Chains A and B, each alone.
Chain A
């Protein structure tokens, strides 16, 4: 296993024995993770495995049942509301379909946080917004409204918006969903390039094995609320662990069964007697 991730001084996020339940239904069970500054980390797993819940716990939107998430040395769930909002200014989040404000133009969407949290003059905000849009290749689209954008463009604008205040961490919730191959590659490359050039950390929650293994430094697999496997993309590709193998190669049956658990097929078809 990659030993470099154990260097605690470089860790931006530490997740320790994290448990989370909705009522009595356990979603995450004793998760431990460390995420280093400057890395792109993928969190993979099937639908309903608790990936998005993990992001919500990191951002402090929900509180863990036990355990903790430590961000930049601070335990997230122990912060009061003001301190949490202060912490969130160091975080960015790209939602699955962008979540752009539909009543604001592309320019105003990217300028939103700057206007809310800073007293910068409008001329400086204009320059900063155009720089952020230039980074995602959409400077020319700054006057458009969100309903005039394609899915890929909307996500690029949302990416520009999430890096508006140069955050330490950007979280991406399924950033590749529903994109054509070109847009998919553009978003993937942007995540890598922006992470490197801005010196931030990125957490990519995704199902997309091909695209994410190209750009990430480290991968966590979550299944049934626990970390089923972890490693570098190379280690993951070579892994013989049944779950990882099934996930990476998209196999129909394996540790994640094709059939929903039920009684024996023969029994359901009343064939027991005739066979006997």
Chain B
């Protein structure tokens, strides 16, 4: 019995040490990506190409999801607010929910599943098919040529995608509450305009989405680069990207919200 307990503790210890070791490896990799970003900045066309794959191709899912989330918010908000005779404030509810929280968070979650997984799979497969090794043999650094452009494309795309999500959400809320239910259009927009603060709401939402963009893309490129060069290895890395990114987004959101909105009425 004690032997079993000891081996159990040993196994937990192993896992903890391995996780910490991997965290250190990921941090070193992240620093390396930043240090080797010169090529991406000098040859910005490399980043633009990746912006298409990570940003533009993610637009459809972001636009459609944003629209539906906004519509649901409008419905739920109207349902609750009308009980207190405040249905005209539904625009405020929709906008603040989206700009402060749902825009950056849901867009980042969708971005992690759509673009993050694609980045991991692509880099992982390039490794498995020796394309990264071939690049190294040609005296071209794969981190500078493959990883850094994808990282920066993700970081740049994320705030725009979050903004697009919020815009579509506000429009979705407008469609449901104003066009279908019949809430006064003037109240919807004017209450929203007076309640949403640029500094506290829009800028903070933008900052959040920047943090999420860095986190998701850093995780995606690391998992791809670190993936064992097998089919199993790449599939495992892709799953880890989505799971880890989602958890990091939600955890980071709480920390950022605590710092940003503490004491703000």
Please classify the interface of chain B as helix (H, G, I), strand (E, B), loop, or mixed, using the class held by over half of its residues. helix
Asked whether any CB of chain A lies closer than 8 Å to the CB of B6, the reply is no
Contact B131 A102 (CB under 8 A): yes
- Give the CA-CA distance A89 to B140 in the complex, in Å: 9
Contact B140 A95 (CB under 8 A): no
How many chain A residues touch B (Cβ–Cβ < 8 Å)? 20
Contacts of A89 in B (CB 8 A): 138-139
Interface string of A87-112 (1 = CB under 8 A from B): 01101110111011110000000001
- Give the CA-CA distance A96 to B131 in the complex, in Å: 11
Asked whether any CB of chain A lies closer than 8 Å to the CB of B19, the reply is no
Contacts of B133 in A (CB 8 A): 61, 95, 99
Contacts of B138 in A (CB 8 A): 88-89, 112-113, 116
Asked whether any CB of chain B lies closer than 8 Å to the CB of A249, the reply is no
A-B contact count (CB 8 A): 47
- Give the CA-CA distance A60 to B172 in the complex, in Å: 58
Contacts of B9 in A (CB 8 A): none
Contact A61 B129 (CB under 8 A): no
Asked whether any CB of chain B lies closer than 8 Å to the CB of A266, the reply is no
- Name the residue of chain B whose CB is nearest to the CB of A158: B134
Q: 8 Å CB contacts to A: which residues of B118-148?
A: 126, 129-131, 133-141, 145
Shortest B146–chain A CB gap in Å is 9
- Give the CA-CA distance A235 to B152 in the complex, in Å: 57
Contact A99 B139 (CB under 8 A): no
Contact A86 B134 (CB under 8 A): no
Contacts of B137 in A (CB 8 A): 59, 61, 88, 91-93
Shortest A135–chain B CB gap in Å is 18
Contact B130 A99 (CB under 8 A): yes
- Name the residue of chain B whose CB is nearest to the CB of A61: B136
- Give the CA-CA distance A100 to B130 in the complex, in Å: 9
Shortest A93–chain B CB gap in Å is 4
Question: Which of B134, B140, B145 touches A99 (beta carbons < 8 Å)?
Answer: B134
Contacts of B139 in A (CB 8 A): 85-86, 88-89, 113, 116-117
- Give the CA-CA distance A112 to B130 in the complex, in Å: 16
Shortest A72–chain B CB gap in Å is 15
Contacts of B145 in A (CB 8 A): 116
- Give the CA-CA distance A52 to B144 in the complex, in Å: 26
Q: Can you report 18 A-B residue pairs in the complex whose CB atoms are below 8 A from each other?
A: A61-B133, A61-B136, A85-B141, A86-B139, A89-B138, A89-B139, A92-B137, A97-B129, A97-B130, A99-B129, A99-B130, A99-B133, A102-B131, A112-B138, A112-B140, A113-B140, A116-B138, A116-B145
Known: A102-B131, A113-B138, A116-B145. 11 other contacts (CB 8 A): A61-B133, A61-B136, A85-B139, A88-B136, A95-B130, A97-B129, A97-B130, A99-B129, A99-B131, A112-B138, A116-B139
The 9 closest A-B CB pairs, nearest first, are: A99-B130, A99-B134, A85-B139, A88-B139, A93-B137, A95-B130, A89-B139, A113-B138, A116-B140
- Residues of chain B at the chain A interface (Cβ within 8 Å): 126, 129-131, 133-141, 145
- Residues of chain A at the chain B interface (Cβ within 8 Å): 59, 61, 85-86, 88-89, 91-93, 95-97, 99-102, 112-113, 116-117
